[in-house]
Each structure stands twice: as structure tokens, then as C-alpha cells.
Amino acid sequence: MEDILGSVAGNKMGQLRQEIADLRKILAKIDDPDKIATIKKEINEKETYYNILADRARTK
């Protein structure tokens, strides 16, 4: 069961890394301060979630 959960967490981590990279590409092209703030917040949330998953993976 733990192997399945670890696999799911690993897949989610990969997905989060890709989403963060995509958001950073979008961020580089935007000039609107409100959109910049929204995207930065979303990047921060995804990075936090990624770090939580990484910490869980390290402790198991």
C-alpha cells in the first residue's frame, strides 16, 4: 500500500513541478500587476504543496 501511495505522491510532485514551470513562463510574459500577484500566489501555493509532499517522502 505504501508503494502505491509513494507512486501517487511522486506523480503529483512531477505534475506540480511542471505546473510551476508553466506558471513561471506565463509570469515572464505578463505586465498586469494584478495578474502577476495572482500567479505569484499560485506558484507559492504549489511550491508549498510540493515541499510538503517532498518532506513526507523523505520521512518514510
pLDDT recorded at residue 25: 98
pLDDT tier for residue 39 given thresholds of 50, 70 and 90:
very high
Mean pLDDT of the chain: 89
Determine contact, residues 39/30, Cβ cutoff 8 Å. Answer: yes
The burial of 52, by beta-carbon neighbours within 10 Å (0-12 exposed, 13-18 middle, 19 or more buried), is given as exposed
Q: Which three cell numbers stand for residue 51?
A: 515541499
Per-residue confidence (pLDDT) for residue 57, from 0 to 100: 83
1: pLDDT strictly greater than 60: no
For the entire predicted model, the pTM comes to 0.82
3-state secondary structure the chain: CHHHHHHHHHHHHHHHHHHHHHHHHHHHHCCCHHHHHHHHHHHHHHHHHHHHHHHHHHHC
